[in-house]
Structure 1
Amino acid sequence: MLISLTIAVDALRPIIPCSLLSLSMVPFASCAIVIGGVSWIVPRHVAQQLDNMLYKSYMRLCLFVFENLSGVEIYLHGTNEEVVNKTGKPENAVMISNHQSNVDWIIPVMLAARHGDQGNEQAFRVMVKNSIHLVPMFGWYIFQHGYIYVRRFGEFIGAPVLRQLKWLNESDPPYWLLIFPEGTRNSAKKKHLLESSNRFLEKSGRQPMQNVLCPRSGGLQLALDNLSTLDAIYDVTVMYGQMRMAERRGLAPGMFDFCCGSQQFKQLHIHLDRIPIDEVPKAKLELRTWTIERFTKKERIIDEFYSEKPSTGSALPCVPISQTLPSTLFFSAALLAPFFSRTIGRIYLLTIASSPLLIAWLHIRKCV
């Protein structure tokens, strides 16, 4: 009986962080709607400060799950001193990264938490695929915070993209915009993607790659053309220790595995290069070549990671729990609140019920 109970409890472990992050979107969205209403009667910068406080609080909840709770060991490689050790005002940056897992997005948040005097998690935004706008509550909110929806297929609609870039460029707080130039996750299970990528590279007279897909430069081109306040490009290469396990090459961990899997191999290696914006070409053909060359470098970095004696990098201390626990307790209390207050329960139900209207709002305003 005791053994069966132990096995059952262990099987339930992944549900806790997943449920905490997903269910917290209900109180989060409720607060965001209130802030949206307040924005009609208070100055813009006040509403933006309130939104940044809310967003940063949720990002720190995510850090609690992905760092404190998971127990992951983090190692840094590359030229990163000006990013993780920067004091004073944070930078405006575009981040380009390889894409292997639904965990990849948290890496820039980890870096942002260590950037500037007070951390910079509120600056984090992503250029995401259009279909995410259909996710209840989340899809509506992230557009309000400056995320950019792009279409992977069909006709490119530039107006909402350019409007968001203009908003970021004119916003007072700094921004970090994450772009995945590969356009989709690369996995050993999706061999057809790698084959298609390598056919294109071979036609272009380039060597095939095994660890990354051939990148597209369209999103980066739009960012460079419309973000005049950019300070630098952060080139991020993410490697997971679990991928060095037997028969796991090319198979990145998902959120469950990353947070709740075995501690042996639970390492995160981040290769980070800061490239001053003046050193990044802006002409279309030159930028395309530059982007492919950056991913060719990623190919070599990941190959070295899989070698018998990979570089260990510099250990990065875990984000202090004193920074993440208050946000975690706040959202935990917010989730328990409906059990003690019917009014809060009704507010949450109204927020959930409003999801179709929020999605419709995105379409009416031509945000997607």
Structure 2
Amino acid sequence: MSSGLAKGIVYVLLWYLSVWCGFFFVCCPLVFIAIFHLKAFRSLMSIAYSMWEMYPVALMNVMFGTEIILSGDPIDAGDQALFIMNHKTRLDWNFLWGCMFHASRPSSHRLKMVLKSPIRHAPGPGWVMQIAGFLYIERNWNADQDAMTEQLDYFRDIQHPLQLLIFPEGTDLSESNIEKSNKFADSHELPHYSRVLHPKTTGFTFLAKRLAENGQMDAIYDITVAYLGNSFQSEMDAVHGRFPYQAHFHIKKYSASSLPASDTEAMKLWLNKVWSEKEARLHQFYNEGRFEGSSVTSESKPQPLSNALCMALIFWTILQVFLVYGLLTSSFIRWLVLISSTIMIVLSFTSRGVQHLEVQWYHYFNSRNNA
């Protein structure tokens, strides 16, 4: 077994086990708070999730030396915002957490993502993201529009500050997807792209408009991601330890007041212009090895771990030891794992997910109090 494969297997196991620890020891207890106080539950879940996100960032740094390199604008942690990003690989989200940690001022955020619905069934990660309030879509626009409206309005009603990420391309940058994107470009008289895919505008314009109407959008953050080092595309590349040595993120902030969010057609044109600029920015990056405004090059020294990342690494590793020890020695822990997992499997396949049940509970609770 090669050292890269061995490291990759250890990384994936630690990553996955940390998710299970978060589900059993953090998410499940916090769910009981939702019965009595939804706003407090939602705030605590955001804090807990952002604390976990530091763990894979620290793991990548320690095991593979992966650095997070930033350029452009900082992220105001207090902003309610819509985030848009190109989707180069199936693992972009794993590196995005590092971007959010290092770029946010202060280093905290409440980022949720718009994801494909089948992901919510994934044992562990899918369950945690349900409880964290991520938005899941079915690729049925009428149903998706209603579900997103319901969830966004709920966050507004409980006054939960929202940061939401959408990948407008809808899928990753593979050769087959580039071909499909270019066929779409030919049919709409658009240029061919090789570094990005042409964005899908319907979901983006709906979210921008709804968030603006709800007073939930102070800004739009456009993030461009690019990697230096190992070529990777999917989860199996992570298993084989094929990680980049640098993940570069260029961030550009657009104030909501400068955007035509109420004009659907104008927002479609705006998004297409942003993606055209992103294509050019990425060509420049792969010619120069860095984004404009970044002083970091491939010869830079390794990035040291911050105190917060060290603490996350220690905390989540200890929690994994506790879980494994508990499974081996404690009937209580075994019953907790069995019952919690069974409940989530049933809820995932008999409902639209915990995030939907949370909204339903809010409406029931409100109607009962107003009766």
**TM-score per shorter chain, which class?**
0.7 to 0.9
Kindly report which structure 2 residues correspond to 1:127-146, keeping only aligned pairs within 5 A, or say none. Answer: 127-146=114-133
Aligned CA distance change for structure 1 residues 75 and 141 (closer, same or farther; 3 Å): closer
The answer for the alignment partner of 2:252 in structure 1 is 273
Instruction: Please state if 1:349 is matched with 2:338.
Output: yes
Q: CA deviation at 1:219?
A: 1.9
Identical-residue share of aligned pairs (%): 21
| Residue deviations 1:212-244 (CA, integer Å, cap 9, x gap) | 11101122222222212211111111111137x
Instruction: Please state if 1:325 is matched with 2:331.
Output: no
Instruction: Please state if 1:212 is matched with 2:196.
Output: yes
The answer for the alignment partner of 2:112 in structure 1 is 125
Instruction: Measure, in 1, the Cα distance between the counterparts of 2:42 and 2:141.
Output: 34
Instruction: Measure, in 2, the Cα distance between the counterparts of 1:214 and 1:280.
Output: 20
Instruction: Measure, in 2, the Cα distance between the counterparts of 1:119 and 1:361.
Output: 37
Q: CA deviation at 1:171?
A: 4.8
Mark the runs of 5 or more structure 2 residues left unpaired by the alignment: 358-371
Kindly report which structure 2 residues correspond to 1:289-368, keeping only aligned pairs within 5 A, or say none. Answer: 289-307=269-287, 311=291, 313-315=294-296, 318=303, 320-337=305-322, 338=326, 339-360=328-349, 362-363=351-352, 367=356
Aligned partner letter, 1:327 = A
Contact 2:17 2:320 in 1 (8 A): yes
Aligned match of 1:198 in 176, 179, 182?
Answer: 182
The answer for the alignment partner of 2:364 in structure 1 is none
Aligned partner letter, 2:128 = Y
Aligned CA distance change for structure 1 residues 113 and 366 (closer, same or farther; 3 Å): closer
Aligned partner letter, 2:15 = L
Kindly report which structure 2 residues correspond to 1:219-298, keeping only aligned pairs within 5 A, or say none. Answer: 219-227=203-211, 228-242=215-229, 252=233, 256-257=237-238, 260-261=241-242, 266-282=245-261, 283-298=263-278
Q: CA deviation at 1:340?
A: 4.4
TM-score under structure 2 length normalisation: 0.81
Contact 1:27 1:348 in 2 (8 A): no
Aligned match of 1:92 in 80, 94, 109?
Answer: 80
Aligned match of 1:187 in 174, 183, 186?
Answer: 174
The answer for the alignment partner of 2:40 in structure 1 is 46
Q: CA deviation at 1:29?
A: 1.6
Runs of 4+ in structure 1 over 6 Å off: none
Aligned match of 1:110 in 83, 98, 117?
Answer: 98
Instruction: Measure, in 1, the Cα distance between the counterparts of 2:269 and 2:238.
Output: 36
Instruction: Measure, in 1, the Cα distance between the counterparts of 2:282 and 2:355.
Output: 40
Contact 1:70 1:259 in 2 (8 A): no
Contact 1:96 1:178 in 2 (8 A): yes
Instruction: Measure, in 1, the Cα distance between the counterparts of 2:3 and 2:49.
Output: 32
| Residue deviations 1:20-48 (CA, integer Å, cap 9, x gap) | 1212222222231221123223x333323
Aligned length: 343
The answer for the alignment partner of 1:27 in structure 2 is 21
Aligned partner letter, 2:20 = V
Aligned CA distance change for structure 1 residues 311 and 10 (closer, same or farther; 3 Å): closer
SS at structure 2 position matched to 1:110:
helix
The answer for the alignment partner of 1:149 in structure 2 is 136
The answer for the alignment partner of 1:3 in structure 2 is none
Q: CA deviation at 1:297?
A: 0.7
Q: CA deviation at 1:117?
A: 5.4
Q: CA deviation at 1:359?
A: 0.6
Q: CA deviation at 1:172?
A: 4.2
Aligned CA distance change for structure 1 residues 116 and 182 (closer, same or farther; 3 Å): closer
Aligned match of 1:174 in 161, 184, 192?
Answer: 161
Aligned CA distance change for structure 1 residues 331 and 347 (closer, same or farther; 3 Å): farther
Q: CA deviation at 1:69?
A: 3.5
SS at structure 1 position matched to 2:345:
helix
Contact 1:99 1:180 in 2 (8 A): yes
Instruction: Measure, in 1, the Cα distance between the counterparts of 2:222 and 2:259.
Output: 12
Between 130-139 and 253-262, the greater mean CA deviation after superposition: 253-262
Instruction: Measure, in 2, the Cα distance between the counterparts of 1:308 and 1:324.
Output: 30
Instruction: Measure, in 1, the Cα distance between the counterparts of 2:334 and 2:123.
Output: 18
Q: CA deviation at 1:169?
A: 3.2
Contact 2:95 2:247 in 1 (8 A): no
TM-score under structure 1 length normalisation: 0.82
Between 43-52 and 211-220, the greater mean CA deviation after superposition: 43-52
Contact 1:24 1:335 in 2 (8 A): yes
Instruction: Measure, in 2, the Cα distance between the counterparts of 1:107 and 1:60.
Output: 10
